[in-house]
Structure 1
Amino acid sequence: MTNQIYPCLWFDGQAQAAAKFYCSIFRKSKITADNQMVVTFELNDTKFMALNGGANFNFNEAVSFVVDCETQEEIDHYWHSLMAEGGQESHCGWLKDKFGVSWQIVPTVLPKLLSDPSKAKKVMEVYLKMKKFDIKALENA
């Protein structure tokens, strides 16, 4: 038996809107079920559940979703799309979307740059000053 593990996101009546919003951003995505209380959807082949659970709980940075990006174009796409309609940018690739869900938009080259002893300190100094990551600036550090 396979036990799939996936996140359930608690919304205050916005589960359908959130699922549609996320599916509009990620290229390989779809809503797989919607019964007004619970919406299941997939983003890049990862299953999610959105629950219309009420106003009891709010999202915070204790849980975030990481989006690995190969190119600056990908970073720009996810950053601007997730920030649309009232998102809030933070530091070091973090943002909150209009629903309050936290995301990290991260270049895949970052671990390699940080593992290079000759560059790591400078790369860290540069990225700690960034909000949205700039791959060229990181590579030139």
Structure 2
Amino acid sequence: MKNNIFPCLWFNGNGREAADFYCNTFSGVISADAGMVINIDLFGQKFMILDAGPQFEKNASISFMVLCESEDEVSSFWQALSEGGTVLMELGEYPWSKMYGWVRDRYGVTWQLYLGEKQGNQKIIPTLMFLHENNGRAMEAMQLYTSIFPGSRLGRILKYGDGVGNESHEIPQNIQHAHFELDGYSFFCMDSSYDHKFDFSEGISIVVMTADQNETDSLWNSLTADGGKESMCGWLKDKFGVSWQIVPRRLLELLNGADRGKGAKVAHAMMQMQKIEIAEIEKAYSS
């Protein structure tokens, strides 16, 4: 798996504790630990933990579907994730899965455990819930994202009117469940008209590692178009409110170089930027 796209989870002082918990739960490993930034590998997938303070909280607008291959696997994950957490949908049999449950763990990350088929080699799939003014826009979002990223495609799309239980009386043409890929990385998404007291936030963002300035510019301009918002240090929100980090690989090379003093200069330069300008951070490194 290329790991050019991966989730970032925001924590407030307990990031390392959470990293250990997820690695223990999913037999993962910590691949990098810089204190504030911790990378973990779960089933060959990269997750970033950003332990950066109380500014943002995670919520279920982006949850993580775990595609399990046995009932024992579902039960094992459920036991760990539900301990000290909050059950959102009880573990049991549903029309879409013989064994399914939805839980928010003790750290505020929301997981859907599903007994069913994997999507290629990817076992954990971020799932975007389009709420409030975005309800009914899941298809629009998928079409936008797959038009922006190379190597992308739409997968199976199930609408509420397609016959798999619509007890909540959702709008029939809205998306009940859909799969799409960006640069080979799988996402699920859905519309929901329920009045949840949350929405997309920086608490969970999507990191995209770029090869050069052209790719950085292209993704930045496309994702901020038509109502998106630029933020600082490579962060942005698209027009639906989903948070993205567009990060040139060159930035990490300079930040993690052997000369810590030069790395600090790069970090200072980055803090002044919205979109990352590779020429400027290289100038800071050389100064």
TM-score category, normalised to shorter length: over 0.9
- Deviation >3 Å, runs of 4+: none
2:161 matched to 1:42? Answer: no
Residues 15 and 38, structure 1, Cα contact 8 Å, conserved in 2: no
Match of 2:125 in 1: 6
Tell me how far apart the structure 2 counterparts of residues 48 and 114 of structure 1 sit (CA, whole Å): 30
Secondary structure of 1:132 counterpart: coil
Alignment of 1:31 onto 2:147: no
The one-letter code matched in structure 1 to 2:269 is: V
Aligned letter for 1:74? E
1:77 — aligned with what? Answer: 218
The reply to whether residue 111 of structure 1 matches residue 234 of structure 2 is no
Aligned length: 141
Structure 2 distance, partners of 1:18, 1:45, is: 17
Identical amino acids, percent of aligned pairs: 43
- How far did residue 35 of structure 1 move? 1.6
CA distance in 1, matches of 2:189, 2:202: 18
Residue number in structure 1 paired with 2:204: 63
Could you tell me which runs of 5 or more consecutive residues in structure 1 were left unpaired when the two chains were aligned.
none
Amino acid at match of 1:81: S
C-alpha separation between the residues in 1 aligned to 2:205 and 2:260? 28
Specify the alignment match of 1:140 in structure 2: 283
Q: Residue 127 of structure 1 is aligned with which of 270, 273, 283?
A: 270
User: What CA distance in whole angstroms lies between the structure 1 residues aligned with 2:260 and 2:129?
Assistant: 42
Which piece of structure 1 moves more, 94-103 or 50-59? 50-59
Q: Deviations over 1:46-93 (max 9, x none)?
A: 110111122424100000000101100000000001011100010000
Q: Does 1 or 2 have the higher relative contact order (CA < 8 Å, sep 6+)?
A: 1
Higher strand share: 2
Which whole-Å CA distance do the structure 2 matches of 1:70 and 1:25 have between them?
15
Q: Distance in 1 between matches of 2:155 and 2:136?
A: 18
Query: Which residue identity is paired with 1:93?
Result: G
Mean alpha-carbon deviation: is it higher for 75-84 or for 28-37?
A: 28-37
Output the CA distance in 2 between the equivalents of 1:7 and 1:32: 15
What amino acid is aligned across from residue 25 of structure 1 in structure 2? I
- The AA in structure 1 aligned to 2:209 is D
TM-score, normalised via structure 2 length:
0.47
- Give the partner amino acid of 1:43: L
The two structures, once aligned, show a CA RMSD in angstroms of 1.4
- Structure 2 stretches lacking a partner, 5+ long: 1-68, 70-117, 160-175
- TM-score normalised over the length of structure 1: 0.94
